Chains A and B, each alone.
Chain A
Amino acid sequence: MMTIGSESRQRFELPARIVGGVAAVVAAASVLLSWSYDPAALDDMSFWGAPSPLQFHYLALGALAAILYLLPIALRPRNGSWTNWVAWNTAARFASFTLLGFPVIAVIAIALEAGGLINVDPGAWLALGAGVVATLAGVLLPTSPEPAMHRIKTHPVIQILAIAAGMGALLFAAVFALGLQDAGAFLLYAGFAAGLVLTLLRLGVFGWLAVCAAANKRVLVLAAFFVAFAFPFTQNGSEANMSIATQVLIFGATALGLNIVVGLVGLLDLGYIAFLGAGAFTSAVLSGSAFATINWTPPFWLTVLISGTVASLLGLLIGSPTLRVSGDYLAIVTLAFGEIFRITMNNLDGSDGPNVTNGSDGIPGIPDLNFFGFDFGATHVIFGVTIGRFANYFWLMLLILALIIVVFTNLNRSRIGRGWVAIREDELAAEAMGVNTFALKLLAFATGAFLAGVAGAVKAHHDVSVTPDQYVFLESAFLLAAVVLGGMGTVMGVLIGATILKLLPEKLRFFSDYRLLLFGLLLVFMMRFRPEGIIADERRQLEFHATDEELAEEVEEELVTYHAHYNPDPKGQK
């Protein structure tokens, strides 16, 4: 792109605002026209004067862009006032990109789904044109200074309302996205959501929300769990989405366990799925299934504990010899261990070894859980809403996930957690400072394995059948990818990563043949361009951008304010 001097940008500012604002209004108005001739494409955009739900989203986006363009004309941002803490121009630019991107995806999707560009109606073309104009106007605007909305003082009530509104929006978005059956519509919505998030991020809204959240941590956590808890009520008995949601939770919980090992201690474990498998097999063998090889069925809470213990014993077994060698070896040894686990589960079938797992058939027919008469397999009606089988497991998993998050965050903040981070950043230095590196590494391994074992215990009942071929290397790689994609060492990031990696393949099934290809590319690109993940742990981010002085100062400043009681030296490493 041509670079435009700052002087000419100043001169173009007012015209660019007006042109951009008008273009945004036109784009918003385009939803009143038909976008697609074929009603089957996307979510039926073939009406005149009656926008589809996705078109309503576009309308809102257009209105937002128009406000971002036009409001500063009236407000005249001044230094020192809140108006100057909002990054109007950058946000307007990103909103414009989204205004352009949305009809681009829509046109491509309509053309692919309905068979040819002939099915694209004038509305979409109008939106596309308006999007192009808005984007040009956005590029012409001078870049805003870094947003500083977090400096805006807000009344606590408004803060809490903002958290509630944010959570509500999140729930609405999740329900809406899961309700979209059409792959093109889902992609379009994902593009819209990404564009909106980027726009708000550039505007500085997230900075402000972070302050609100930091001031009301308890409210935030409660709100988050309330939203997650309420999710099954929005599905009205539909099992398909609940099944996916439960799998996301199981996957996310396992990834969090891996996050201790990889994200906090910096040990690369490529056989982590084996711990999930160990938990699942233990739970299956003790489940009382007709195929179970042990005739003892303890209560489920005990099964969970046994499963976790078996997994963590395996973790100790593999960890104690290998944690003495350097990190690279560990990666391959754990990979080999994962293979050993899978092959062993395959071989313990009575002909090549004692019969424990029924070999490749695994253990099917695992009964549903039953807590004090509450049958997880049955459908219940609560508050007039049908709650199906997967919703029951969803709540159980939610409980376990909450537990795991508590363990994770408390460990992270404790003396142990600081020891882990010290090991990650420089093992030799940590050892010299008196950190018992071997014991701490072993503890991390065992804890991570325990959490995975617990998740596995629920997974066995949720899946009904446990077979060795569910626990292959690729699954370990997926777990690792969830951690890497979301952000090593963070809770939110890993949950987001897990959601993306589980949800997208389900929603974009037409793509399933290219899933792994993209997955490989994703790993390479993440490492190349954003190794710290979507949500960055700040210390971690610094590690990956060692030469970025500005970032180093920023992080140090925050660390000093937040953790005044101890003083890590982020400049001391490579």
Chain B
Amino acid sequence: MEFFFQQLINGLSLGALYALIAVGYTVVYGIVQLINFAHGEIFMVGAFGAFATWVLLGSPTTWSLAAALFVLLPAMILGGVVVSVAVALLTERLAYRPLRTAPRLAPLISAIGVSVFLQEFIRLFFGYIPGMPDSKRAIPFPSVEGISGASFQIGQVTVQMPAVFTIVALVVCTLFLWFYVNRTKTGRAMIATSQDPDTARLMGINVDRVIMAAFAVGAALAAVAGVAHGLRYGNIDFRMGFLSGLKAFTAAVLGGIGNINGAVVGGLVLGVVESLATSFIPGQFGSTAWKDVWAFALLILVLVFRPQGLLGAKVVDRA
């Protein structure tokens, strides 16, 4: 039984990571009906931004527990968010906005281009920034006292601190997002734009700004996910965005794309399914080598039987 709970905990923390990224897909899709294929790379860039912030702080390794938790960690998150948001806004401005009236294939292909470009840019040029290590292979993510490598036991179940951090981050971010969308002016403008962009424009809403806000919010959450990824796995590399991004998209579809709560639920469900599948599918197909296959198979099943997703967002097809 503790084996089940252990995999459940693993799955929930993995799912929280997917959910943080998935929100970015869902927010952007809800407003511009664009699958931001490069969102996985925004997440990756956030992790590198956090890493760079750590280097700028003098690569601290021996800070006390309090300093690490209340100065270092927030600074790294902030650094990651700044970099992610900047890159996201830049790509929106340069690669997506000019294509807003083009057929739908165009922005999607452009997004694939951005995705490949960002990966390669980090791989080739991150190392040229003074003080940064060569990024052509994985680089070790800084340890944060009290989180990295730390864990506690509940009975036989080991709970790792990075998992706790990821879940807490998801809760905080979701609350913040709920407040932002429902209680601020920009947030309500977002809702209005997602329902009907033309009318929203007539009502005096600056649609460009709303779209930028959507990209920024998604990027900020992705950056938090980037930090969580670094703490959880201890390494970051330029390719980490591809698979995580794909999984997060799956999570967004699972929950109902366009629906923020759906992204959170979809992420958690996907994480748990992936974890449990490797333990409870009997025989050769239960090997961990198949876990990505089960995740993607879930995506296809959902699209066949419940295309609107678990929480049933309205699928608007405005092609």
Contact = CB atoms under 8 A, between A and B. Distances in A.
Interface string A321-343: 11011111101110111011001
Contact of A343 (B117, B253, B290): B290
B93 to A, nearest CB: 12
B284 A351 contact: yes
B109 to A, nearest CB: 5
Contacts of A526: 109, 113
Contacts of B299: 332-333, 336
A252 interface: no
Residue in B99, B114, B289 with the greatest tally of chain A CB atoms within 10 Å: B289
Given A321-B304, A337-B296, A477 B116 contact: yes
Interface residues of B, number: 49
B33 A328 contact: yes
Contacts of A522: 113
A340 B113 CA distance: 22
A515 B103 CA distance: 28
Interface stretch (B1-9, B52-60, B242-250): B242-250
Contacts of A344: 293
A339 B292 contact: yes
A328 B109 contact: no
A484 B319 CA distance: 20
A520 to B, nearest CB: 3
Contacts of A543: 103
A82 interface: no
A333 B300 contact: yes
B117 A321 contact: no
Nearest to B33: A328
Contacts of B110: 523-524, 527-528
Contacts of B104: 327-328
Contacts of A328: 33, 35, 104, 108
Given A339-B296, A347-B289, A524 B95 contact: yes
Nearest to A351: B284
B163 to A, nearest CB: 25
Contacts of A517: 116-117, 120-121, 124
A513 B284 CA distance: 39
A474 B239 CA distance: 12
A343 B106 contact: no
Nearest to B242: A473
A353 B102 contact: no
B18 to A, nearest CB: 14
B101 interface: yes
A480 B115 CA distance: 14
A525 B113 CA distance: 9
A523 B249 contact: no
Interface of B: 33, 35, 94-95, 98-99, 101-110, 112-121, 124, 242, 246, 249-250, 253, 284-285, 287, 289-290, 292-293, 296-297, 299-300, 303-304, 307, 315, 317, 319
Given A333-B300, A343-B293, A477-B116, 6 more contacts: A322-B303, A337-B296, A340-B293, A352-B285, A516-B120, A524-B110
Interface of A: 262, 266, 268, 270, 318, 321-322, 324-329, 331-333, 335-337, 339-340, 343-344, 346-347, 351-354, 427, 473-474, 477, 480, 484, 513-514, 516-517, 519-528, 531, 543-544, 546, 574
